[in-house]
């Protein structure tokens, strides 16, 4: 199995190094991930916070999700690249953006959330489990077998 992986922002001021593989890789088509992504969705790699070392200063934009939970989007203040997200409701977890990976092959999406918002032009893998909105964590874990 793959061990850790690395990534960072466009200008190189923010870098990270993880000690383990992502436990879940999800495509999220919610409006907020889309607007901060550059395309129709964000691809997020879920890892425990304690397995990630971040270097460099990040800026943060927090907004409230449909659930009312605060979503904190961390990005490089110099180049603006999205690096990772945390959620006040899933303390201890980080969601690293696939766009920040050094090796893109690390991220193979396993699930799609907010699939009801996938645009007609997006190329999607029809075999992936898809939730129309954000599933509750237990439903997702059950489906993913994690
Ligand atoms: Zn940067
Ligand atoms: Zn999202």
Ligand at shortest distance from the CA of 80: 1
Q: Which residues surround ligand 2, an ion (CB under 5 A)?
A: 28, 30, 33
Of 134 and 110, more confident? 110
Task: State the chain's mean pLDDT as an integer.
Answer: 92
- Per-residue pLDDT for 88 more than 70? yes
| Amino acid 139: pLDDT | 75
- Per-residue pLDDT for 141 more than 80? no
Q: Which residues surround ligand 1, an ion (CB under 5 A)?
A: 9, 11, 13, 76, 78-79
Report the range of poorest mean pLDDT among 9-13, 67-71, 142-146: 142-146
pLDDT in tens, 98-109: 999 999 999 899
Q: How far apart are CA 35 and CA 31, in angstroms?
A: 6
| Amino acid 144: pLDDT | 67
Q: What is the mean pLDDT of residues 133-142?
A: 77
| Amino acid 142: pLDDT | 75
Q: What's the gap in Å between 18 CA and the centre of ligand 1?
A: 18
| Amino acid 46: pLDDT | 95
pLDDT in tens, 122-134: 998 999 999 999 8
Confidence of residue 145 (pLDDT cuts 50, 70, 90): low
- Per-residue pLDDT for 41 more than 90? yes
Confidence of residue 67 (pLDDT cuts 50, 70, 90): confident
pTM for this entry = 0.91
Q: What's the gap in Å between 65 CA and the centre of ligand 1?
A: 25
Q: What's the gap in Å between 129 CA and the centre of ligand 1?
A: 33
Q: What's the gap in Å between 11 CA and the centre of ligand 1?
A: 4
């Amino acid at each position: 199995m793959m061990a850790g992986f690395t990534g960072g922002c466009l200008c190189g001021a923010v870098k990270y190094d993880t000690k383990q593989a992502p436990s879940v890789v999800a495509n999220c088509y919610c409006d907020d991930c889309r607007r901060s992504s550059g395309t129709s969705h964000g691809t997020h790699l879920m890892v425990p916070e304690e397995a990630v070392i971040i270097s460099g200063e990040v800026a943060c934009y927090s907004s409230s999700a449909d659930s009312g939970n605060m979503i904190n989007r961390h990005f490089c203040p110099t180049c603006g690249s999205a690096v990772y997200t945390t959620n006040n409701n899933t303390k201890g977890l980080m969601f690293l953006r696939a766009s920040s990976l050094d090796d893109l092959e690390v991220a193979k999406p396993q699930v799609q959330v907010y699939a009801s918002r996938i645009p007609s032009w997006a190329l999607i893998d029809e075999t992936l489990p898809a939730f129309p909105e954000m599933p509750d964590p237990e439903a997702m874990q059950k489906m993913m077998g994690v």
